[in-house]
Amino acid sequence: MVVLYNYEMGNFKKTTKTKEQWKSILSKESYQVTRESGTERPFTGKYWNFDQEGTYKCICCSEPLFESDTKFDAGCGWPSFFLPINAKSIKEIEDNSFGMSRTEVKCSKCDAHLGHVFNDGPQPSGLRYCINSVSIDFEE
């Protein structure tokens, strides 16, 4: 079942798939990161050192998440952004796993794990959305 989010109407609905359906459309690494809250190794993802102009979308449901003009080099080895396209396209969840206190970032439309957000980014937001390359796709 595929359901969409309509920003104009304020009608929030999710994209849902079974575990088997997600596995059939995602690479093994994308599945592990987005559906099982994994993390790719730093400095290995295809977008950490990538600077073309366009839009970064959720790899699972194609929800637009970040524009290239909000991407910056945080030196952390993952693509980093200081602002999402729309605050409604992502959700932030307290994450106390692995003995750390962080804020997890998920796609609002399909609940894909994207990465984490930190308070050490540039202005105007002061935020660093640290996103796994395998959780996003790029469109010029």
Say if 3 falls within a structural domain: no
pLDDT at 137: 97
Say if 91 falls within a structural domain: yes
What is the reported pTM?
0.88
Residue whose C-alpha is closest to residue 94's, from 121, 66, 116, 119: 116
Say if 25 falls within a structural domain: yes
Say if 5 falls within a structural domain: no
Say if 10 falls within a structural domain: no
Say if 6 falls within a structural domain: no
Chain centroid to Cα 107, Å, comes to 6
Residues with catalytic roles = 130
Say if 124 falls within a structural domain: yes
Say if 51 falls within a structural domain: yes
**Domain ranges, residue 86:** 19-139
pLDDT digit of tens for each residue in the chain (140 aa)? Answer: 233 334 443 455 688 899 999 999 999 999 999 999 999 999 999 999 999 999 999 999 999 999 999 999 999 999 999 999 998 999 999 888 778 788 999 999 999 999 999 999 999 999 999 999 999 999 99
pLDDT at 12: 55
pLDDT at 68: 97
* CA distance linking residue 22 with residue 129, whole number of Å: 24
Domain count, the chain: 1
CB 127, CB 83: distance < 8 Å? yes
CB 70, CB 82: distance < 8 Å? yes
Q: Is 42 helix (H, G, I), strand (E, B) or coil?
A: coil
CB 33, CB 110: distance < 8 Å? no
pLDDT at 2: 32
